[in-house]
Amino acid sequence: MIIDKLYQEAIDISPICLGLDTQESYLPDFMQNQDRSIGDKILQFNKDIIDHTADIVACYKVQIAYYEALGIEGLKAYSKTLEYIRGKKKISIGDIKRGDISATGQMYAKGHFEGDFEADIVTINAYMGEDAVSPFYPYIKDKNKGLFILLKTSNPSAKETQDISCEGVEYYKYMAKLIEKWGEDYIGKNDFSSIGAVVGLTYPKEFQIIQDMLPNTFFLVPGYGAQGGTGEDMGKILNKSRCAVINSSRGLITAHKGVNEGNYYYDEIRDATKRMKEDLAHWLK
Ligand SMILES: O=c1ccn([C@@H]2O[C@H](COP(=O)(O)O)[C@@H](O)[C@H]2O)c(=O)[nH]1
């Protein structure tokens, strides 16, 4: 199961998920000035980062919005970035946040678990219910794929929809139970399901409640760094169980900006990733 590999990488290497939310302004100045297509430059930037961090992160999350925004050229860079991650035998998470009626969901599953945009794990928005999730099920067992379903997201407005009362509890708690139920058939050898959940580090109190409710759920945790989430809060979770990978995108992939805009810019990104690794390790008992 993909979740067993992710769990092991998080233990053996570090629980860091490096976010490739790549946009032109993040490229070092020398690369921005090169006479190449934007797609080529973005792919080169991603490859440099992967080459210089693969030994210190568990996985990479590629945020499709940044690539879609560039049209066909961006989507080619998205596809080639996923291919490069696969070639390095690292785990890729396609941050696509999809979810639709079953017939359309089957196409999303095919589109992101096969072919040009194949990722190991994708993010899902399950607001439409299990119909939006079940088209992905066959790929979990047959093709060793996984899902992270949005549960308690990191953004400030999350409470507008996720904290409202539903059958006497906050909606996120109701959703938490659904995710645990949907994941029951996909539990791997470390007792975590290949259907996991996205929980932001910006709501640390709620995260602890969710962790206690969902012993078999593995978490993708955005919100560290740029959004204010801290290693100390993450330590409280990881000291109870090693149930998560922690994403940082801007905090890592812009570390060189204004500091080192030259050929070896990726040293700054590697150093920032190492500092995140040390920060997370510092709070581990
Ligand atoms: O609740 C959520 C779900 C997804 N994200 C995504 O994670 C990264 C965060 O980027 P940073 O630069 O580290 O803030 C980004 O791709 C978001 O789309 C999230 O932030 N919160």
Selecting among 47, 80, 88, 97, the annotated active-site residue is: 97
Give the span between the Cα atoms of 201 and 233, in whole angstroms.
Answer: 7
pLDDT at position 38 over 90: yes
Write the pLDDT tens digit of every residue in 147-178.
Answer: 999 999 999 999 999 999 988 999 999 999 99
Write the pLDDT tens digit of every residue in 118-129.
Answer: 999 999 999 999
Among 87, 12, 90, 29, residue whose Cα is nearest residue 254: 29
pLDDT at residue 285, rounded to an integer:
87
Mean pLDDT for the stretch of residues 127-139: 97
Instruction: Find out whether 120 and 92 touch, Cβ atoms under 8 Å.
Output: yes
As separate numbers, helices (DSSP H) first and strands (DSSP E) second, the chain gives 13, 10
Give the homologous superfamily in CATH for domain 2-282: Aldolase class I (3.20.20.70)
Active site residue 80: no
Of 166 and 236, the structure prediction assigns the larger pLDDT to: 236
CB atoms within 10 A of CB 72: 10
CB within 6 Å of ligand 1 — which residues? 19, 21, 63, 95, 153-155, 198, 200, 222, 225-227, 247-251
Q: What value does the mean pLDDT of the chain take?
A: 97
Say which DSSP state 90 is in. -
Say which DSSP state 134 is in. G
CA of 153, closest atom in ligand 1: 1
Give the span between the Cα atoms of 12 and 55, in whole angstroms.
Answer: 10
- What is the identity of the amino acid at 160? E
Instruction: Find out whether 131 and 101 touch, Cβ atoms under 8 Å.
Output: yes
Give the predicted TM-score (pTM) of the model: 0.98
Closest C-alpha to ligand 1, atom 20: 222
Give the span between the Cα atoms of 232 and 257, in whole angstroms.
Answer: 26
Mean pLDDT for the stretch of residues 247-255: 98
